[in-house]
Amino acid sequence: MTSAIELGRLAELCGRLRASPARLAKLALLAEFLRALPADVVATAVAFLTGRAFSASDPRVLGVRWLPAAEREATGPPLTLPDVAAAFAEVAAAEGAGTRRARDERLRALAARATADERETLQRIIAGEMRTGVSDGLVLEAVARAYAIPLEAARRAALRLGDLSELAALAARAGAEALASASARPGVPLLPMLAQIAEDFEDVLEAHGGTTALEYKYDGARIQLHRDGERFAIWTRRLSDITASLPDIVETARRELATGPYILDGEVVALDGSGRPLPFQDLMRRFRRVHEVEKLVREIPLALHFFDCLMADGHALIDEPYRIRWEALTAVTGGRHLAARSIVSSVEAAREFLAQSLAAGHEGVMAKDLGSAYEPGGRGKRWFKVKTAVTADCVIIAVDRGSGRRRGWLSNYHLAVRDGAAFADVGKTFKGLTDRQFVEMTERLWALAVNDDGYTVRVRPEVVVEVAYNEIQKSPTYPSGLALRFARITRIRDDKAPGQAATLDELRALYERQFVTKGRAV
């Protein structure tokens, strides 16, 4: 079956995928291709199809963005997928003096054996942009179809494995039974479980059977900490690897937590010199820093708060109830660095705990069902977040054309507040409106249009909206100097004229008021 694993077959498939605009046609092409592959190359094929030189759980990187030009037409035997995988492995392993030359020479040798179409496919894999219109979700569906696996079973396994290549390889080798037993692994991040927003605690207690576990909702950033022996990894909510940016968290884990293997879910908060939480914007400086990390570690120390345990002593716990996972978390951490927590059975006790969280400078509280399993990527009534809403009345001064599901609508609204006789930009949002409201707002804003560059439509500042936000932060982007974080429209204020919107001075005062409970970076 050599022909089934030739790179030319993958290049041909990619061409057909680009030429097929229909989603179902793409799905059929993918499933047919995967079904014909030997099981031992399926993982490699899926990685390449999703624009990855290596599988999602493989930490190796190529360290290059371009395929060197070939000096002659393709020569030698046809390239196979294992040939390409082996070349990529050698490129990733190159190190020391002459690394760049060694990588280029290996890739140039690869290109010399490739046809023009194959070179294009190789370049797209290296750049991470296949541009075939195929998403990870579509590949997942194709895997399910190719190996006769129920789609929901495939989705569930994908959430646990965190790696489509591994999923496809398991499915090809052993089918649905293997996927049913798939579980979390250290070093492979899981999508975080998410929460619904609740306005008050009556609905929370009703949904959770009269008792709920409350935790402080920290004004920080979600992290997932993995340990397997002396290997540590830290992932963000979006599954970006930030281990190198947080050496202090790694050292804390090495010194104070169990030896693992474990996977912990938690939050880090930036602190000022007096131990008060800093705004989210200051925390992001830690996450983005890749040079002079130690200097920033000293300037912006982090507080660590764990609230869930997805694996302890090598045993996956995501199917266990929250109360059991908390017990495991306490054992792994020795009771250190745990989120502030209270189990309550009354609205009064819940509100008192919320007040404590807000007074400490945090966002609110999380409410969790004691019997809930951990659902990677899931959002439901098992977890709620309860926060006090802060709003400002803003004016829409421009709007971007929508894309994807919002194509045909004007749907990303530019928000502004009054600044003397003018209006000052303070953010954008596409959140908060129903589909019907999007349609109505599109018609309304087109009638107010004064300029259109093909992407952004400037409009007369006549529509006032109430905007909820999490925080006001400094902005280098807007001349106003301020931006609303996580802005979302809560009401269209047809009862207000633009002259009644919030002012920039008011927003500046609100920004300063945040530091009554928060710290301020120096």
Give catalytic residue positions.
Answer: 217
Is beta strand 231-236 parallel, antiparallel or unpaired with respect to 390-401?
A: unpaired
Give SS3 for 469.
Answer: strand
Q: How many Å apart are CA 490 and CA 209, to the nearest integer?
A: 29
Q: Give CA torsion, residues 239, 264, 258, 360, to 10 deg.
A: 110
DSSP track, 54-103: S-TT-------S-PPPPSSS--SSPPBHHHHHHHHHHHHH--STTHHHHH
3-state helix, strand, coil in the chain (%, to 5): 40, 25, 35
Element containing residue 364 per DSSP (H, E):
strand 364-368
Residue 408, classed as helix, strand or coil, is coil
417 within 8 A of 503, measured Cβ to Cβ:
yes
Pure H helices in 392-462 = 435-446
CB 103 within 8 A of CB 96: no
Inter-residue contact 232 to 225 (CB < 8 Å): yes
What's the DSSP call for residue 243?
G
Query: Within 209-359, where are the H helices?
Result: 247-256, 280-288, 293-299, 322-333, 347-359
Separation CA 404–CA 398 (nearest Å): 20
CA within 13 Å, CB half, 515: 11
- Which of 116, 125, 31, 112 is closest to 81 using CA atoms? 125
Q: Are strands 364-368 and 221-228 parallel, antiparallel or unpaired?
A: unpaired
CA 439, 441, 447, 452 dihedral sign is: negative
Q: Are 130 and 123 in contact (CB under 8 A)?
A: no
Q: Within 13 Å and on the Cβ side, how many CA atoms surround 142? A: 30
What is the number of helices (H) and of strands (E) in the chain? 17, 19
Closest CA to 152 of 163, 144, 160, 164: 144
> Which residue, 77, 7, 4, 96, is CA-closest to 48?
7
- Identify the bridge partners of residue 234 per DSSP, sorted by sequence position: 225
Which tokens hold the place of 503? 């002012």
225 contacts 261 by C-beta, under 8 angstroms = no
